[in-house]
Amino acid sequence: MMKLIRSILTVMTVTLLFSACTKVEVPVENELTPANFPKTEAQFLLASGTAYAKFRDQFATTYWQIQSLSTDEAIIPTRGSNWFDGGRYQQLHYHTWNADNPQVAGVWSWGFSTISSCNQILALFEQSPDSESKLNIAAEIKTLRALCFYLMMDVYGNIPLTTKFGDANQPQTQSRKDVFAFIEKEVKDALPRLSEVNDKSTYGRPTKFAAYALLAKMYLNAEVYTGTERNNDAVAMCDMLIKSNKFALADDYASIFKADNGPATSEFIFAIPYDNVQAPGQRFTWYNLHYALSAKYGLPWRISGPTSTLPEFYANFDSKTDVRNNVWLTGKQFDNSGKPILISTTKKGLDANYSGDDGATQISWQLEFSPQITFVNVQNFDVGSDVLGSAKGIRNNKYAPDAAATTNNGGNDVPVFRYADILLMKAEAILRGAAPTNGQTALGIVNELRTKRKAEAFTSISLDELLRERARELNWETWRRNDLIRFGKYEGSWGYKTDQNTYKRIFPIPSGERILNPNLKQNTGY
C-alpha cells in the first residue's frame, strides 16, 4: 500500500516522523527529560511513543514464535544449513527448551523492556501538573503495561511486578494469582479514563474496548491462572463489546489482513500498526512463503520461507466452502495468470537423493507444497537443502504480501484483540457453564461466524469443535498455545513432538535474568 510521510513535527526539541495513509500515525521513539516534560495532549501522546515502538518490535516475531512454534500450528525446520540457529526452533517444537533458549530469553526481554518503557513514561508524567490529557494518556499507558504483564504472566507464570522506573530494589517473583489480581485492578482502575472512540484517532492505542477484551481473555483463562473459573465474567466483558455496536464481522475475511488494513477494519479492537519503512517488525511473508513466489507478489527481495504448518493443524480446515481455507498455499502453485510457477534446477538439485548418471541435467519443476514435514537429518531437524526440501510444508499466506515493501518488513497491521475472537470466547464461556445472555447460544454464535465465513452451519457444538473453530479463525494470531493449554491439549503429540510434561505449560525464567536478579524464583521443573 502507499505510505506517505505526512508530517514532520518538532516538539520540545525532538523531531518525530509519522507515517500516514489510510492508517493512523504510528508511534515512534522520542527523547524526553524532566526538563521538557509534556503539557499538552499532543505532547503526552508523543511522549508515550517509545512504549508502543517497543511493544511492536517483537510481537510478530519472537513472541509469535514462542506462542505458535510450541504448538501444532507452525514449525520452523532447518532447511539445509539455514534456520538451525543452535536448535532453538527445534526445542520449541519438541518442548525440550530450557532456561538458556534464546527465544525464551528474547520474549522476557521484550515484555519487560516494554513494561520498563511504560514505567519511565509514567514517571515522566508524574512531573507534569495533573490535567485531563495527562490522566487519560496515563490510563492508556497503564493499560498497555497491564497487557504486557498479562502476556508475561501467560508465558512465564510467576513474574515480578515492576511498576516504578529506576527502582534499585531487585523485585521478587509474584504468584500468578497475585499477578492476575494486580492486572485486573489496574485495568478496572484505568477504564473510566479510557476512550470510547473507535476510529483513526485512537487506533493502535488502548481504548475501553481493548480493556474489555483483555479482561475477557483473562476471565476465560482464569481457571488456568488462578484455579477459579470466571466464565460468567468473561461473558459480561464480551457483552460490553458486542453491545457497543462498534465492531462487526468483516464481509471479506481476507481484507482483515491485507497490507492496507487499518482503522477501517471493522474487526480490530486493538491492533499493532506496522509499516514497511516507518514501523518495521512484521515479517510474516518473509517467514512463511517460498522464494519462488517473489515474482508472483511483485516483491523485489528474496523470501526465506522456513515456516509451515503441520498436517495435524491443517486437518482443521475441512469445509470446502470456508473462505478461511484461502489462507493456505498447498499443492501445485501458479502465477497470477494461471501459469505454473517453475523452478529451474537440475535433477540432483531437485532431489539430493537422485542417483542417476544424469543428475546435472537441467530441468524445470513446478513448485508444489507437500503437507508432510519429513527429515533427512533428524538430529539437525533438517528437511533438506534441495528444491523438494524447500517445498515441504503447507504455507500460511494470511497476511497478504505487501507489494509496496522494498524490504522483508510488511505493512500489514497485526491484531491483538479481534471481534471474531470475542464471539468465540463468549460461545466457549457458555459451553463451559456461563449463563447465556442477549438470547445468544454457543451454537448460534459459532454459526453466525461460520455463515460469515461461507462455511456450513453446525447442528451442534462441543468444546472440541469450538477449539477447531478457533484454529480456523485465529491461526497465526498468537493464541494457539493459550488455547491448547485451556483445553488441556498442550501435552498432545503432533509432528515429531511427544513430550507430555505439564510443567512445560509455562516457560522458564531465563538464566541470564536470574543471574542479574537472584530474587527471581525459577519455575517448577526447570
Q: Provide the CA 306 distance to its chain's centre, in angstroms.
A: 18
Q: Kindly state the cell numbers that stand for 390.
A: 524447500
C-alpha to C-alpha distance for 76 and 99, rounded to whole angstroms: 20
Q: Kindly state the cell numbers that stand for 465.
A: 469443535
The single-letter DSSP state of residue 60 is I
C-alpha to C-alpha distance for 509 and 526, rounded to whole angstroms: 9
Question: pLDDT tens across 450-464, in order?
Answer: 999 999 999 999 999
Look at the block and give the residue holding cell 531437524. Answer: 381
* Count of alpha carbons within 13 angstroms of residue 208, beta-carbon side: 15
Residues of the chain predicted below pLDDT 70: 1-36
- pLDDT in the model for residue 32: 54
Q: How would you classify residue 295: left for phi > 0, otherwise alpha for psi between -120 and 50, otherwise beta?
A: alpha
**Is the distance from CB of 37 to CB of 127 less than 8 angstroms?**
yes
**Own/partner long-range contacts of 515-519 (Cβ < 8 Å, ≥24 apart):** 517/160, 517/170, 517/171, 518/170, 519/160, 519/170, 519/171, 519/172, 519/173
Measured CA distances, 243 to 155, 276, 443 (Å): 31, 35, 19
Q: From the CA atom positions of the chain, what is the Rg in Å?
A: 23
- pLDDT in the model for residue 39: 84
- pLDDT in the model for residue 7: 31
Domains of the chain: 20-282+410-516 (1.25.40.390), 284-396 (no CATH)
C-alpha to C-alpha distance for 479 and 485, rounded to whole angstroms: 10
Q: What angle, rounded to 10 degrees, do the helices at 132-156 and 208-220 form?
A: 20
Q: Kindly state the cell numbers that stand for 87.
A: 536448535
Amino acid at 454: K
Nearest to 306 by CA among 365, 373, 354, 257: 373
C-alpha to C-alpha distance for 261 and 265, rounded to whole angstroms: 6
- Three-state DSSP class for residue 267: coil
Question: pLDDT tens across 321-365, in order?
Answer: 999 999 999 999 999 999 999 999 999 999 999 999 999 999 999
The single-letter DSSP state of residue 353 is T
- pLDDT in the model for residue 243: 98
C-alpha to C-alpha distance for 353 and 370, rounded to whole angstroms: 17
**Is the distance from CB of 208 to CB of 186 less than 8 angstroms?**
no
Amino acid at 366: Q
Q: Kindly state the cell numbers that stand for 116.
A: 520498563
